[in-house]
């Protein structure tokens, strides 16, 4: 039987060895009642996941967590087999209580696989599929030019200016409004809400995910740090979602809304569902899709731009080589345009290496299997949540020698162009399977455009 067929695991389950007699994947020793609760790392978990992979000599590690078994997927091979080829089994999500308490579950990244998720994905896809994202390039170039001017005047504020630039681009795309500066409410709100997401989505961070009834304990009770965290960030998440959308909606109803993602979705909904019972449902979906673009875009690209700036400061030889290519191809009399990218293989390699070196989502978002599965002779129980160790995959020495070094040349072939035999990090960094598609279309196209324009 061909081991690479999408249904390989399911065929084995139904036609050969019963899963009940197969062992669970290896992992730390489980204890009564608490299982592996205290083994789950809460800081830099991706490094612990890499150590477990070496300790147990396995690409998959099993953790017996209270009410929620966890599978840490440590290699690209295992992730592609389980989460990509068997995406019909592995596309569900676990309910992250801390994310729900912050109202961040409006994001498709955290929604259970089903009709609501498909409706949001469909609406998002209409505005951000590869065939339309080029229409956003002029605003990206405009802000890139402004960025150069802002930084030259205030280099000490570079990190804030990066966030201003990135938030400015996506806020204009989503709501048709320009931000006024580094301290603009839209910039600050997105930054704080993103901090809440980064903390709340960290694997092992919140014990509420394993004891969900504890969500009803008041936040003033000692030891309820997760509830306090949710109370802190919830107002910012709500403001990020509602305030700009409501402003566009008011302008749209008066016929004066500037072109934007939100206005486009409102127009489409009014034309298709205006005056029906479905209009409110689709308006709520549009509200969520707009903030998904705004919040996710501001967070991911800001992080990667900061990683890029760190890299060229630590590895000045990369900066010099990229500048040399720009000087050779662009010359001294104009600034780069997007059409120049095809003739800038080293600059493209720098973007690829930025994605690989410090991935914006080092542990990904867990996928849940909806039926018993099997991999490499191990039984994976129904309901197990798989955490892909994206950081580990992108620091795999077999694929990327000397992985801690920022070295774009790893992607350049003997002919001076991008080497197709080296694994493209974007095939890992943005997720896997059916859950990957929205992120790939947005993050993989508009995201790389914004990073390249810097």
Per-residue model confidence as pLDDT tens digits over 224-262: 566 777 888 889 889 989 999 999 999 999 999 999 999
Helix (H) or strand (E) holding 73: strand 70-73
Give buried/exposed letters for 154-165 (b at 16+ CB in 10 A, else e): eeeeeebbbbbb
Task: Tell me how far CA of residue 451 lies from CA of 153, 350, 391, 448, in angstroms.
Answer: 21, 10, 19, 5
pLDDT value at residue 105: 75
Confidence (pLDDT) at 125 = 84
Q: Which CATH superfamily is domain 8-453 in?
A: Cytochrome P450 (1.10.630.10)
C-alpha distances out from residue 381 to 13, 110, 372, Å: 11, 21, 5
Interatomic CA distance for residues 359 and 357, integer angstroms = 6
What span, in angstroms and rounded, lies between the C-alpha atoms of 186 and 177? 10
Question: How far apart (Å, rounded) are the C-alpha atoms in residues 299 and 207?
Answer: 25
Confidence of residue 445 (pLDDT cuts 50, 70, 90): very low
- For residue 63, give the H/E element and its range: strand 60-63
Domain coordinates of the chain in residue numbers? Answer: 8-453
Residue-wise pLDDT tens digits, 136-169: 899 999 999 999 999 999 999 999 999 899 989 9
User: What is the distance between the alpha carbons of residues 429 and 299, in angstroms, rounded to a whole number?
Assistant: 15
Q: Cα(443)–Cα(141) distance, rounded to whole angstroms?
A: 17
Q: How many secondary structure helices (H) and strands (E) does the chain include?
A: 17, 6
Higher model confidence: residue 430 or residue 132? 430
- Per DSSP, what are the bridge partners of residue 62? 71
Which residues neighbour 317 within 8 Å (Cβ) at sequence distance 6 or greater?
Answer: none
Q: Tell me what the pLDDT averaged over the chain comes to.
A: 84
Predicted confidence (pLDDT) at residue 441 exceeds the cutoff of 60:
no
Q: Strand (E) positions, 268-412? A: 367-368, 373-375, 378-380, 385-388
d(CA 259, CA 245): 13
For residue 439, the model assigns a pLDDT of: 42
Output the pTM of the full model.
0.82
Q: Return the pLDDT at 37.
A: 85
Radius of gyration from C-alpha coordinates of the chain: 23
Residues 31-81: pLDDT tens digits?
A: 998 899 889 887 899 999 999 999 999 999 999 988 889 999 999 999 999
Q: Coil, helix or strand for 442?
A: helix
């Amino acid at each position: 039987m061909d081991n690479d067929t999408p249904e390989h695991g399911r065929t084995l389950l139904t036609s050969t060895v019963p899963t009940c007699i197969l062992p669970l994947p290896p992992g730390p020793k489980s204890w009564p009642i608490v299982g592996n609760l205290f083994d789950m790392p809460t800081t830099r978990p991706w490094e612990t996941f890499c150590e477990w992979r070496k300790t147990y000599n396995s690409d998959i590690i099993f953790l017996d967590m209270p009410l929620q078994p966890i599978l840490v997927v440590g290699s690209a091979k295992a992730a592609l087999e389980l989460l990509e080829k068997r995406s019909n089994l592995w596309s569900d999500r676990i309910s992250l209580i801390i994310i729900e308490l912050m109202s961040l579950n409006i994001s498709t990244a955290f929604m259970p696989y089903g009709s609501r998720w498909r409706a949001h994905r469909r609406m998002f896809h209409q505005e951000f599929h590869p065939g339309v994202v080029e229409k956003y390039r002029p605003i990206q170039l405009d802000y890139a030019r402004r960025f150069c001017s802002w930084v030259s005047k205030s280099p000490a504020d570079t990190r804030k200016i990066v966030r201003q630039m990135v938030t400015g681009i996506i806020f204009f795309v989503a709501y048709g409004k320009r931000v006024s500066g580094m301290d603009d409410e839209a910039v600050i709100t997105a930054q704080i809400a993103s901090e809440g997401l980064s903390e709340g989505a960290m694997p092992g961070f919140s014990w509420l995910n394993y004891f969900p009834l504890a969500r009803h304990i008041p936040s003033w009770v000692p030891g309820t740090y997760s509830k306090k965290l949710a109370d802190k960030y919830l107002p910012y998440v709500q403001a990020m979602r509602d305030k700009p959308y409501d402003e566009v909606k008011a302008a749209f109803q008066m016929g004066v809304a500037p072109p934007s993602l939100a206005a486009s979705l409102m127009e489409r909904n009014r034309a298709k569902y205006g005056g029906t019972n479905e209009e409110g449902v689709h308006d709520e979906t549009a509200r969520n899709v707009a903030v998904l673009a705004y919040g996710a875009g501001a967070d991911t690209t800001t992080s990667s731009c900061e990683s890029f700036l760190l890299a060229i400061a630590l590895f000045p030889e990369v900066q010099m080589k990229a500048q040399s290519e720009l000087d050779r191809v662009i010359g001294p009399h104009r600034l780069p345009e997007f059409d120049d990218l095809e003739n800038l293989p080293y600059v493209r390699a720098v973007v690829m290496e930025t994605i690989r070196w410090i991935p914006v989502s080092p542990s990904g978002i867990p996928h849940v299997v909806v039926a018993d599965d099997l991999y490499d002779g191990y039984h994976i129980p129904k309901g197990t949540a798989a955490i892909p160790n994206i950081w580990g995959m992108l620091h795999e020495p077999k694929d990327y020698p000397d992985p801690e070094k920022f070295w774009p040349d790893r992607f350049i072939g003997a002919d001076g162009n991008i080497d197709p035999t080296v694994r493209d990090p974007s095939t890992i960094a943005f997720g896997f399977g059916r859950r990957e598609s929205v992120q790939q279309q947005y993050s993989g196209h508009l995201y790389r455009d914004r990073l390249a324009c810097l």
